[in-house]
Amino acid sequence: MLQQTTVKTVLPRYEEFLKSFPDLKSLAAASEESVLKAWAGLGYYRRAKALREAAIKIGDVHGGVFPDRFEDVMALPGVGRYTAGAVTSIAFGGPYPVVDGNVERVFSRLFAMRGKLKTQALTGKMWTLAEELLARTAPGDWNQALMELGATVCLPVNPRCRICPVSPYCAARLEGAPEAYPENGARQPIQDIRLETLYIERAGRILLWKRGDDERFLKGHWGFPESRHVRARPGKTIKTVRHSIMSHRITLSLREATLRRAPPEGRVRWAARARLKDYLVSSLWLKCLPEFWKPRRQ
């Protein structure tokens, strides 16, 4: 939950999530839709899907008990080297390092490491260093200390070198320019995308489309159909919203439309207006809601 989201935003959502899914069993038994709904507004929905899939795998493969071997944790859906290292070292005392953005900043300054972040060469060096430096007697404490040092002392701007416990050894501080490290890698270019979506109403119910796994984003989500999904005659534009998902800047228009051909069974649902919020959980759709969901014929 904390990926790209602040602790303040996450805390109440975390509590709510645990109320809905207090253990692996309840998460594994839940429908994907209900888990996505509990995740509504947090973005990066593939994390929620992976979390549920991991709970299912733990039930199927590990008898419902969270595995303590690094390789088994790595094999869970949605888990990479960082998460596997953090979980096995902190929860089970396993001798595995972590490298996140904070650790990268501390290492690049401590050792005055040149090179752009997120490149294979520098990432490889960071992990090798993390392996070599790991305090094997207390790997969980070590990893947390390193991440905290980056989060609270070795700040991106105005690092607090005067109170830093490793300042005597810090090459960047000795050079006198700690902020020159790390060199930022090239940012992913922003892609502009235009989506034309359709508002199709029949007998007071609205047509919703389940987005497939082949979609670029919001896989497995219910939404308004795009014009490429159904055969329909579009009418006037009801609303245009702008929204960002990862490196995509989306301009979405919602147009009234009438169906020209029955849509494929199984991909669609006719939802009552009052139930739309149960289906349309992404903030992309919620942006359409405030004015749009006031009854139009009062």
> Site residues (CB under 6 A) for ligand SF4?
106, 109-110, 153-154, 159-161, 164, 166-167, 170, 172-173, 178
d(CA 261, CA 270): 15
Asked if 78 and 131 touch (Cβ cutoff 8 Å), the reply is no
Name the minimum Å distance from CB 144 to ligand SF4. 16
SS3 for 137-158, per residue?
CCHHHHHHHHHHHHHHHCCCCC
Of 109 and 211, the one with the shorter C-beta distance to ligand SF4 is: 109
Backbone φ and ψ of 244, nearest 5°: -115, 135
CA 38 to chain centre: 14
Q: What is the C-alpha separation between 98 and 83, in angstroms, rounded? A: 8
CB-based contacts of 115, cutoff 8 Å, min separation 6: 121, 122, 125, 183
Helix (H, G, I), strand (E, B) or coil at 81: helix
Closest separation between CB of residue 152 and ligand SF4, Å? 10
Measured CA to CA, the distance from residue 111 to residue 103 in angstroms comes to 12
**Smaller CB separation from ligand SF4, 48 or 98:** 98
**CA-to-CA distance for 134 and 156, rounded, in angstroms?**
23
